[in-house]
Amino acid sequence: MLIALDIGNSHAAIGGFHGDELLFVASMATDDRQTGEQYACGLQSIFALHGVRNEPIEGAVLSSVVPAMIPIMQHAISFLSDCRVLTVGAGVRTGLNIKSDQPRTLGTDRVAAAVWASCSAALPCIVVDLGTATTFTALDCQGVLVGSAIAPGLHISLRALGHAAAQLPEVRLDTPPKTVLGRTTADAIQIGSVYGTASMIDGMLGRFAEELHEVPEVLLSGSAVPFIQPYMRTPARWEPHIVLYGLALIWRRNQRQN
Q: Annotated catalytic sites, by residue?
A: 109
Q: Are strands 59-64 and 2-7 parallel, antiparallel or unpaired?
A: parallel
3-state helix, strand, coil in the chain (%, to 5): 40, 25, 35
Compute the distance between CA of residue 154 and CA of residue 133 in angstroms, rounded to an integer.
8
Query: At residue 165, what are phi and psi to the nearest 5 degrees?
Result: -110, 105
Report yes or no: 209 and 201 within 8 Å, Cβ to Cβ: no
DSSP secondary structure letters along 129-179: EESSEEEEEEE-TTS-EEEEEEEE-HHHHHHHHHHH-TTSPP----PPPSS
**Secondary element (H or E) of residue 252:** helix 242-257
Report yes or no: 176 and 190 within 8 Å, Cβ to Cβ: yes
Selection from 130, 182, 185, 179 nearest residue 157 by Cα: 130
Provide the edge-to-edge strand list for the sheet that holds 84-87: 21-29, 11-18, 2-7, 59-64, 84-87
